[in-house]
Amino acid sequence: LSSVGVDSAQLKTCMKDPTTLETVKKQMELGKTLGIRGTPALFINNKQFQGGVHLPTLEEIYKTL
């Protein structure tokens, strides 16, 4: 974790905090409401792209905006 700049002690403290669990639960419920079934999920102009989008696809979408 330290190789990507994450303090493991701080992460453990955060994971034990009840506020963290509540935040995760709220985000999960929001995701369910929006119909998100997994990550990554991307929305462009209210259209959902599930499971990630490759750069060439994003470039084509951008051209239509």
What averages of pLDDT result for each successive group of 10 residues across the chain (65 residues)?
A: 86 94 94 85 81 81 82
Q: What is the pLDDT of residue 25?
A: 95
Joined together, the tokens standing for residue 34 give 């929006």
pTM of the model as a whole: 0.57
Q: CA–CA separation, 55 vs 64, rounded Å?
A: 15
Q: What is the pLDDT of residue 51?
A: 67
H-assigned helices in the chain: 8-16, 18-34, 55-63
Joined together, the tokens standing for residue 33 give 């409401």
List of residues 6+ apart from 37 with CB closer than 8 A: 50
Length reported for the chain: 65
